[in-house]
């Protein structure tokens, strides 16, 4: 490896399991010039709130921020599709000089009349933080004028990383919670937090809960509705997936309404089953039969899934995997899922992992696994080479890195259009990994072709 590949200032953000004590530096500002894979605060907020389909999402800033987030996600809606449009105040030089408040007000006036949304989220971008537009005052005024919640999302890009964006999104959503009637909600009820309904995944999960006899009050935020979030405090339990994207909301709801929460994952076999069993366990005092129903459900699903997995495992046994994901919570589940396929995870990285996340990753991964926080293309490519990886799991920015070096790839971020959650999702996931790992094209890529000589 080129000695310059890892910059001195980044050395404490990389760890090899089994080699010394883990003391991972994380949640740190990205290093200038390091070509981080990370985005910004605005991105974090936009990701979380994006799938609320009956709300207006207005980006207050120059055009780029809105246009690069226009309909790039795989978040599906069973009804309205307002979230798939890209709205911006498209700030111009004169707005920057004289302030953009009037334009924002006019834009909200125009868009709310045109689309009659149930609420409006107004995202502040870097420049709004600098020119000092009073977003909160404009939102308050427009809220009164239009009779719907108009919520400022304080997501100036430079004020941290994606993680701060999650918090800004949760703060905005929390203002909706508690605004609707809850008397007709079942005692066996949950809110699904931190799932974005990529390729309809939330519908798979909701079907499991339906079979278990559990009512889902609000999807937060996949296939989300403003009204549902308004009554979400009436649910008996919050289920939080994803690395903290909506954890702050769950904490606020616990504090204010006493709603308990548990962390779950719908990816892979164990984590999917465990999550359902945990929910059953939570409600077993109210409805003792729920445990049996859940066991039946899991057994049914597994009986369909396991023979298929076994077939693919024969081909995949021993192949090596690297993954670089946004939130590290997903990495736990993926690591276990790959074990079911007989594959060996040799590198795990994330954009926003915490010390606790990396400690857990060290605990469950094999010795010699590379753990990395806030990586960049040169590091990732060096690790791919060093570990001679067969499959890389990441997002759009990581795909060409893997492909250029002749390595299979699985897209596992918000832009994917394949459902990978639930038992059926595990099957889709396995099929995708199998298809990529077993494709004959690798015989022709320079790195592999040379080896075979």
Partner 1 sequence: MTTKSKNYTSTTNACKLCTPLGASLAFRGVEGSVPFLHGSQGCATYMRRYVISHFREPVDIASSALGEKHAVYGGGPNLKKGILNVMKKYEPKIVGVATTCLTETIGDDVPMYLNEFHKEFGDLDLPDIVQVSTPSYNGTHMDGWHGAVRSMVEQLCTEKAENDGHVNILPNLVSCEDVRHLFDICEDFGLKATILPDISETLDGPALEDYMKIPVGGTPVEEIKKMSGAAATIELGRCVPTKSGGTSLEERFGVTNHRIGLPMGIRECDKLFETLETISGKEMPARYQRERGRLIDAYVDGHKYIFGKRAVVYGEEDLVTGLCAFLAEIGVDVILAGSGAKKKGMAEAITAVTEGVGRTTPEIHEGVDFHDIAERAGGLKPDLLIGHSKGYRYAKAWNIPLIRVGFPVHDRFGGQRIPTLGYKGTQYLFDLIVNAMLEKKQADNPVGYGYM
Half-sphere exposure of 24 (CA within 13 A, CB side): 27
219/217 Cα distance (integer angstroms): 7
Distance between the two ends of the chain, CA-based, in angstroms?
Answer: 24
* Minimum CB distance to partner 1, residue 385 (Å): 7
Q: Are 106 and 76 in contact (CB under 8 A)?
A: no
Q: 22 vs 96, which CB is nearer to partner 1?
A: 96
Stretch that binds partner 1, among 63-71, 195-203, 297-305, 307-315 (CB under 8 A): 63-71
310 token code pair? 């076994």
| Interface with partner 1, residue 420, by CB under 8 A | no
List the interface residues with partner 1, window 238-257 (CB under 8 A). Answer: none
Furthest CA-CA distance within the chain: 73
The site for partner 1, by CB under 8 A, has a size of 80
List the interface residues with partner 1, window 307-346 (CB under 8 A). Answer: none
* Minimum CB distance to partner 1, residue 230 (Å): 26
Stretch that binds partner 1, among 99-107, 239-247, 259-267, 322-330 (CB under 8 A): 99-107
Spacing of C-alpha 177 from chain mean position: 21
Stretch that binds partner 1, among 100-108, 230-238, 304-312, 427-435 (CB under 8 A): 100-108
Q: Are 223 and 197 in contact (CB under 8 A)?
A: yes
Stretch that binds partner 1, among 204-212, 237-245, 340-348, 440-448 (CB under 8 A): 440-448
Q: 37 vs 265, which CB is nearer to partner 1?
A: 37
| Interface with partner 1, residue 440, by CB under 8 A | no
List the interface residues with partner 1, window 350-389 (CB under 8 A). Answer: 376-378, 381-382, 384-385
Q: Are 230 and 257 in contact (CB under 8 A)?
A: no
Q: Cβ atoms within 10 A of the Cβ of 11, count?
A: 10
Interface map 15-54 toward partner 1 (x if CB under 8 A) = --------------xxxxxxxxxxxxxxx-----------
| Interface with partner 1, residue 98, by CB under 8 A | no
373/9 Cα distance (integer angstroms): 12
Q: Are 354 and 363 in contact (CB under 8 A)?
A: no
List the interface residues with partner 1, window 290-309 (CB under 8 A). Answer: none
**290-316 vs 201-212: helix crossing angle, rounded to 10:** 140
List the interface residues with partner 1, window 391-410 (CB under 8 A). Answer: 395-397, 399-401, 403-406
* Minimum CB distance to partner 1, residue 7 (Å): 6
* Minimum CB distance to partner 1, residue 415 (Å): 9
347/393 Cα distance (integer angstroms): 10
User: What is the bridge-based pairing of β-strands 14-16 and 370-373?
Assistant: antiparallel
Q: 108 vs 430, which CB is nearer to partner 1?
A: 108
* Minimum CB distance to partner 1, residue 242 (Å): 19
- The four Cα atoms 192, 194, 200, 205 give a dihedral, to 10 degrees, of -40
Q: Cβ atoms within 10 A of the Cβ of 56, count?
A: 24
Stretch that binds partner 1, among 18-26, 84-92, 205-213, 316-324 (CB under 8 A): 84-92
Among 13, 17, 45, 69, binds partner 1 (CB under 8 A): 69
Q: 124 vs 232, which CB is nearer to partner 1?
A: 124
Among 1, 19, 68, 181, binds partner 1 (CB under 8 A): 68
Among 22, 96, 262, 424, binds partner 1 (CB under 8 A): 96
Interface map 106-135 toward partner 1 (x if CB under 8 A) = xx--xx-------------xxx-xxx----
List the interface residues with partner 1, window 159-198 (CB under 8 A). Answer: 159-161
For the four alpha carbons of 58, 130, 326 and 359, in that order, the dihedral sign comes to negative
Written as one string, the DSSP assignment of 263-329 is E---SSHHHHHHHHHHHHHHHTTT-TTHHHHHHHHHHHHHHHHHHHHHHHHHHHTT-EEEEEESSHH
* Minimum CB distance to partner 1, residue 428 (Å): 21
């Amino acid at each position: 490896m080129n000695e310059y590949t890892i910059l001195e200032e980044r050395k404490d953000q990389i760890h090899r399991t089994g080699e010394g004590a883990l003391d991972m530096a994380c949640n740190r500002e990205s290093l200038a010039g390091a070509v981080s894979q990370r985005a910004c605060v605005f991105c974090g907020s936009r990701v979380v709130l994006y799938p609320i389909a009956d709300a207006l999402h207005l980006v207050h800033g120059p055009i780029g921020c809105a246009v690069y987030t226009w309909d790039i996600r795989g978040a599906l809606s069973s009804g309205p599709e307002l979230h798939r449009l890209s709205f911006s105040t498209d700030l111009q030089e004169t707005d920057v000089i004289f302030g953009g408040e009037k334009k924002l007000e006019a834009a909200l006036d125009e868009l709310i009349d045109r689309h009659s949304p149930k609420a409006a989220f107004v995202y502040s971008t870097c420049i709004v933080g600098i020119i000092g537009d009073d977003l909160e005052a404009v939102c308050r005024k427009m809220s009164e004028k239009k009779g719907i919640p108009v919520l400022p999302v304080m997501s100036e890009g430079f004020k941290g990383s994606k993680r701060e964006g999650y918090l800004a999104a949760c703060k905005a959503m929390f203002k909706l919670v508690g605004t609707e009637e809850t008397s007709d909600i079942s005692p066996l009820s949950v809110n699904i937090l931190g799932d974005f309904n990529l390729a309809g995944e939330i519908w798979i999960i909701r079907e499991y809960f339906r079979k278990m006899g559990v009512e889902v009050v609000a999807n937060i935020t996949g296939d989300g509705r403003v009204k549902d979030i308004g009554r979400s405090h009436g649910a008996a339990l919050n289920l939080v997936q994803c690395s903290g994207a909506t954890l702050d909301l769950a904490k606020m709801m616990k504090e204010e309404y006493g709603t308990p929460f548990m962390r779950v994952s719908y990816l892979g076999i164990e984590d999917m089953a465990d999550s359902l069993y945990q929910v059953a366990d939570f409600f077993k005092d109210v409805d003792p039969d729920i445990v049996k129903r859940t066991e039946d459900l899991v057994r049914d699903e597994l009986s369909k899934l396991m023979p298929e997995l076994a077939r693919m495992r024969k081909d995949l046994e021993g192949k090596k995997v690297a993954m670089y994901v946004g939130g590290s919570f997903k990495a736990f589940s993926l690591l276990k899922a790959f074990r079911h396929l007989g594959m060996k995870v040799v590198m795990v990285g994330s954009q926003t992992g915490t010390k606790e996340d990396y400690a857990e990753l060290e605990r469950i991964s094999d010795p010699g696994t590379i753990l990395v926080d806030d990586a960049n293309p040169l590091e990732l490519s060096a690790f791919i080479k060093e570990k001679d990886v067969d499959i890389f799991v990441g997002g759009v920015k990581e795909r060409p890195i893997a492909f250029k070096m002749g390595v299979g790839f699985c897209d596992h971020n918000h832009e994917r259009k394949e459902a990978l959650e639930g038992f059926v999702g595990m099957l889709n996931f396995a099929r995708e990994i199998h298809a990529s790992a077993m494709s004959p094209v690798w015989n022709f890529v320079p790195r592999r072709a040379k080896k075979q000589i």
